[in-house]
Amino acid sequence: MKAEPVKDEDESKGRRLKGGDAQKLTMAEVAKYVGVSAMTVSRAFRQDASVSEETRKRIMEAVDALGYVLDLSAGSLSSRRSGFIAALVPSINNSNFSDTARGITDALENTGLQLLLGYTDYSAEKEEKLIEAMLRRRPEGIILTGGSHTDRARRMLDKAGIPVVETWEIPEEPINHVVGFSNSEAMSLLVRTLASQGYRRFGYIGGTTARDTRGSQRRSGFLKTVEELGLGPGRAISFGVPPITMEQGGQAVMSLLERWPDTEVVLCVSDLSAFGAIMECKRRGMRVPRDIAIAGFGDYEISSICHPSITTINVDCYGIGRQAAVRLLDALQAGGEATGDEITLTGYRVVLRESTDRGAR
């Protein structure tokens, strides 16, 4: 029984050029086509529901033939499960955070959950707006970057009654779950490692304001440790609005060296600014690490490739995302069973490379 080709003479002008004829195709119509109830079609779309193999096959053939696409917005209303997970990162142009986003997406694969991604541009106000926008979609869980949020954001999150995971740092007052590490201690470790290699006069480059909380934690970790080692006071330059760019890294290292010409090693808030600093030094004829040693933070791809390769702190960006998603999934699985609000510490390690190589001096 084939459908007869219909001559639609009068349909050609005022209409859209697209195959919009199926726009209102609904589950009920698929059901009618197959000769079952809509409920059975609905069940056929889920693997666990009990539908005989034969019925499911017929339904799926019809779905294929008609070109039906499930409508989740209708489904989520009645099932009261949106199928969304929301995640907010400061920036998607930063490969550290896009790695985290990738980790989340990958962990969500085959769970039937979809990621709603937003970027806050390092602003708590924008984060607040985004949280509200996200909550309007009734996500089943939400992943945030960092632990500093506006009061209203905290209230909204609390009221939403969904699991929250804060990532990339250890907030003083966690909302719920945490997957991250101490940026301050990580930077401290880097300082101590370099100090143990004989470096004494430490400089630091980072952004100015407090917008980037991870950045300021790294800075305070630096200052504290330099002090503790009796090498203080630390020589810290603030340059530009976070996130500090490669170019600003170059400018910053120059003003640092102008102010403290005998600096031996410069630590940067991220590999990106470290890269900018190194390139600027080379451009000016300085040798790295012979004349000045430079280290970064984050272990971006660039740092192992760059010549000289850049000493840095490796952070498990992808793993942070992946684990954050897994914790969320666990919490959802547990349902209301109040899983303990645990803190999952993720690893980091110093990666020593050419840019701080003592032997090359």
Partner DNA sequence: CTTCAAATTGTTATCGATATCATCCTGCCC
Partner DNA sequence: GGGCAGGATGATATCGATAACAATTTGAAG
Where does this chain bind its own copies (CB under 8 A)?
15-20, 22-23, 67, 69-74, 76-77, 82, 92-93, 95, 98-99, 101-102, 105, 114-117, 119, 132-133, 135-138, 155-156, 158-162, 176, 245-247, 250, 275-276, 279, 282-283, 301-302, 304-307, 336, 338, 341
Nearer of residues 40 and 188 to DNA, judged by Cβ: 40
Q: Does 7 bind DNA (CB under 7 A)?
A: no
Residue 47 in contact with DNA, rule: CB under 7 A? no
Q: What is the 3-state secondary structure (H, E, C) of 150-188?
A: CHHHHHHHHHHCCCEEEECCCCCCCCCEEEECCHHHHHH
39 vs 70 by CB, closer to its own copies: 70
Q: Which residues within the stretch 65-94 sit at the binding site for DNA (CB under 7 A)? A: 70-71, 74-75, 77-81
Contact indicator for 190, 313 with CB cutoff of 8 Å: yes
**For its own copies, which is the closer residue by CB, 114 or 255?**
114
Name beta bridge partners: 206.
238
Relative to beta strand 312-315, strand 348-351 is antiparallel
Q: Which stretch binds DNA (CB under 7 A): 6-14, 22-30, 155-163, 338-346?
A: 22-30
Q: How far is the CB of 22 from DNA (least distance, A)?
A: 11
Binds 306: which of its own copies, DNA, none (CB < 5-8 Å by kind)? its own copies
Pick 170 or 246: Cβ nearer its own copies: 246
Spatial CA neighbour of 90 closest among 15, 145, 159:
145
For position 210 contacting DNA by CB under 7 A, the verdict is no
Our CB check for its own copies shows the closer of 55 and 91 to be 91
Q: Are 311 and 295 in contact (CB under 8 A)?
A: yes
> What span, in angstroms and rounded, lies between the C-alpha atoms of 162 and 112?
17
Q: Which of 278, 217, 229, 230 is nearest to 250 (CA)?
A: 278
Helix, strand and coil in the chain, % to nearest 5: 45, 15, 40
43 binds, among DNA, its own copies, none (CB under 5 to 8 A by kind): DNA
How many CB atoms neighbour CB 314 within 10 A? 17
- The footprint of DNA (CB under 7 A) covers 24, 26-28, 35-43, 45-46, 50-52, 54-55, 70-71, 74-75, 77-81
